[in-house]
Amino acid sequence: MEIIILIVASLVLGLLGKKMGLALVVGQLLAGIVLGPAGLDLLSYTHLLAILAEGGVLLLMFNAGKETNIRGLWQEGRMASAVAILGVLFPVVIFYFAAIILGYGNQEAILWGITFAATSISITIAVLAEQRLLAKRLGTVILGAAILDDFLALGMISIYTLFVGTKGMNLSALLPLFAFLIGLLGQRVIVSSKLKFTDTLGEYVFYPIFFGSIGLRIALGQTDQTWPVLVGLIVLAILTKIFGAGLGAYMTGANLKLATAIGAGMVSRGEMALIIASLGLAAGIVDQGVFSELVLVIIITTIMAPIIMRPLFSKADS
């Protein structure tokens, strides 16, 4: 029953948001906030919901893979690489020093840097698909950069887990990448009309669950930092990706409008950043208070991302 309530609320608020000029996913994210601990506290983030939300991520990545322009992905490799590298470097360095200034220890500061180096492509894919930009240059560069970005993040997680003495990285973080690759290969061997049902299944069942569940994970009142500090960290999370990834695009031939849009497309954090934050909590590097701060900044940045992306994508495509 709770799952049905979340799906219906996400679909309704998603459509209302779209009518107000917002991206569809913003309304779905807000549905989770309204129904969760930060709002009416009617629903909670259960184990079953976590499994279904993971299914939503995998289906979203699979559908993105089957819509991706393979030739364009190969042609834009140079720009995508520059976007990914600088899009990782900027947040790692800036968040490390920001955490040190806020009084965190060296290991905690490293965790802050790695966490915000990660990019959640799932939100960006939803906005690109809504605006029919997945197969265009903007979508191709962002997808390529996000894939490389995730591999870089996974590499840093591996080094980090060795550094803090934990048992190793969470291999489940690789599943969305595999889902994307399966979709990419599937478009060559399966008639696209036979894959249409996955779009419908995602749009009306799994995507609303996934995006709504993100909102359910916001828990206000469990953080140690003041709201002005948290707002500053959210601004940093947004600007480090826009400037870092955008600079990478600009240096490799994109004009200012396209470079800014590409940078905005890398802003969203999400499942990858949450995995890294969870790793830090499990390893004892951060306590529950700091973990709540990380999750809050990740989720609010994720909610802000499509609001920032949509107009910039439209300008870049015009």
Per residue of the chain (318 residues), give pLDDT as tens: 889 999 999 999 989 987 887 777 878 888 998 999 888 989 988 889 989 988 888 888 787 777 666 776 677 788 999 999 999 999 999 999 999 999 888 888 998 999 999 887 777 888 888 888 887 888 889 988 987 887 787 678 666 766 665 555 555 666 777 887 888 777 666 655 556 777 788 889 998 998 888 888 777 776 777 888 989 999 999 999 999 999 999 999 899 999 999 999 999 887 678 777 776 776 777 877 788 888 889 888 988 888 899 899 888 876
- Which pLDDT value is given to residue 54? 84
Q: Let me know: does 34 contact 13? Beta carbons within 8 Å.
A: yes
Distances (CA, A) of 33 to 4, 60, 240, 259: 16, 21, 26, 32
The model's pLDDT over 204-238, given as tens digits with 9 standing for 90+, comes to: 999 899 888 888 877 777 677 788 898 999 999 99
> At 119, is the secondary structure helix, strand, or coil?
coil
- Which pLDDT value is given to residue 267? 93
Residues 6+ apart with CB under 8 A from 123: 25, 211, 268, 270, 302, 305, 306
Percentage helix, strand, coil for the chain under 3-state DSSP, each rounded to 5: 80, 0, 20
Residues 6+ apart with CB under 8 A from 132: none
Angle at 61 between CA 55 and CA 65, to 5 degrees: 145
Is the backbone of residue 220 left (phi > 0), alpha (psi -120 to 50) or beta? beta
- Which pLDDT value is given to residue 192? 56
- Which pLDDT value is given to residue 42? 92
Instruction: Give me the CATH number covering residue 66.
Output: 1.20.1530.20
Written as one letter, the residue type at 76 is E
- Which pLDDT value is given to residue 166? 52
Q: In 40-62, which positions are buried (b, 16+ CB within 10 angstroms) versus exposed (e)? A: eeebebeeebeebbbbbbbbbbb
Q: In 281-313, which positions are buried (b, 16+ CB within 10 angstroms) versus exposed (e)? A: bebebbeeebbbbbbbbbbbbbbbbbbbbbebb
Cα-to-chain-centroid distance, residue 92: 16
Distances (CA, A) of 246 to 48, 142, 283: 38, 11, 33
The model's pLDDT over 174-207, given as tens digits with 9 standing for 90+, comes to: 677 788 788 877 766 665 555 677 778 888 999 8
Q: The domain containing residue 284 runs over which residues?
A: 1-317
Q: How far apart are CA 97 and CA 90, in angstroms?
A: 11
The model's pTM: 0.75
Which tokens is 113 given?
């840097």
Residue with tokens 């994109």: 254
For the chain, the domain total comes to: 1
| Average pLDDT score, the chain | 83
- Which pLDDT value is given to residue 312? 92
